Amino acid sequence: MITIIGAGPIGLACGIACKQRTIPFRIIDKGCLVNSVFHYPTNMTFFSTSDRLEIGGVPFISHGVKPTRREALEYYRRVAESFDMPLHLYEEVRDISGEDGNFVISTDKDTYQSDKVVIASGFYDHPHRMNVPGEDLPKVKHYYDEPHPYAMMKVLVVGAGNSAVDVALESYRCGSDVTMVVREPAINENVKYWVKPDIENRIREGAVKAWFNSEVIKIREKEVVIRTPEGLKTIENDFVMAMTGYEPDFRLLRRMGIAFHSDEQVPVYVENTQESNIPGIYLAGVVCGGLNTSKWFIENARVHAERIAEDIASAREVTLQSG
C-alpha cells in the first residue's frame, strides 16, 4: 500500500499513475479535494491553458482559452470520480515514522501502515509571514477571496506578483482606496501579460497608489507604518492584504528527516525517481522547489507522478521476483 499525502492535482496524478500500474494506494489531505485550488480567489483565471492542466488523459474543456477556478474545481472533481480515487479528506497527517516497506502514518483520525509514502502536499496552506508587529490582527489577510468585503475601505496590498496585482485591481474596481507596498523597484515581470499593463497604468495615473523599494514595519488597528526611500510613512488603513506568497510545510518534512541542501530550503531528492534522502519517501510537485514556489506548476510537475510510480512498480517487481 502506498500513501499519498496531498489531494491536489499532483497528488491525484500520482494516484492515477499508481492505479495504471495496479499499485494499491490511498490519498490523505487535511482539507478538501484540490484544497489549494479551492482557496484561490473566487474570480481567478489560470495563467495556463486548460490542456496544460490536464491529468490522467482526461480532457479539460473550458469556455475560454484560460480556465477559471470554478472550471478547474469541476474538472478535478470529475477526474477523482472517473478514477474512483480512495480519498481521505479533512484528515491531517500528524506524524510519519518507520522505514521503507513499513511506514506508520498517524493522522488526527486514524493510523495506517504504508510501504511507501509520497509527499505532494503543495504549499498554499502556509503563508509566508512578514514577521512584523500587528500581523496577527484580524484586519490582516493572507488569503483573498473576492473584493466586495473591502469596498469603500482603505486597503493596503503587500507584494507585486500575480496575486497582489489581482487583489489591487479587483479591490480598486470595487471601490476600495488601494495602496501597494512593494519591496522591489517595479511590478514583478512574471505578472500575467494581459494584467501587467493594467496595474502599471492605474499606478501611473494615481488611481492605485504604490510605494516601491518599501516594506511594512508595523500594523496598527487604524494605520500601517511603512519604510520607504523617503523615510517612514504612516498610512490610514482598514485592511492589509498580505500577498507575500506561501511555502511548503517544512516542519513535517524535517520531522520525517528530509534533508535540505540550499538556503532556499530545497529538499534532497533523486531527480529521475523523486525519492528523497529517506528510502521509500518520495516528493512530488511544488514541495520540490522549497521556497522557490514558482519553479513547479501543475503543467511541469505532472512528470513527477510517472517517475514515482515507475520507480515503485520496479521495486515491487524486484521484490516479487526475489520472493
- pLDDT, tens digit (0-9, with 9 covering 90-100), for 177-202: 999 999 999 999 988 888 999 999 99
Handedness of CA 106, 40, 141, 215 (dihedral sign): positive
Assign domain 2-126+246-322 to its CATH superfamily: FAD/NAD(P)-binding domain (3.50.50.60)
Place of cell 500587528: 134
Long-range Cβ contacts of 222-231 (<8 Å, 24+ apart): 224/156, 226/181
CB-count burial class (<10 Å; 0-12, 13-18, 19+) for 63: exposed
- In the structure, what pLDDT confidence band is assigned to residue 262 with cuts at 50, 70 and 90? confident
3-state secondary structure of 192: coil
pTM of the model: 0.83
Is the per-residue pLDDT at 294 higher than 80? no
Residue count of the chain: 323
What's the order of all strands across the beta sheet hosting 281-283? 87-88, 25-28, 2-5, 116-119, 281-283
Q: Where in the chain is the domain with CATH 3.50.50.60?
A: 2-126+246-322, 140-242
Please give the Cα distance from 315 to 282 (Å, whole number). Answer: 13
Instruction: Encode pLDDT of 8-52 as tens digits.
Output: 999 999 999 999 999 999 999 999 999 989 988 888 888 889 999
Mean pLDDT, all residues of the chain: 92
pLDDT at 250: 83
In this prediction, residues 81-109 reach a mean pLDDT of 96
Q: Letter for the amino acid at 246?
A: Y
Average confidence (pLDDT) over 56-70: 91
Contacts (Cβ under 8 Å, ≥6 apart) of 283: 118, 119, 120, 258, 267, 269, 274, 276, 304
What average pLDDT does this structure show over 290-295?
Answer: 76
Distance CA 159, CA 246 (A): 12
Q: Letter for the amino acid at 148?
A: H
CA 32 to chain centre: 14
- For the domain bounded by 140-242, which CATH number is listed? 3.50.50.60
Question: Which cell numbers hold the place of 254?
Answer: 524535517
Local structure of 206: helix, strand or coil? coil
Residues in contact with 175: Cβ distance below 8 Å, sequence separation at least 6, in sequence order: 151, 152
**269-283 as b/e: b if 16+ CB within 10 A:** beeebbbbebebbbb
- Asked if 114 and 1 touch (Cβ cutoff 8 Å), the reply is yes
**Mean pLDDT confidence for 254-267:** 86
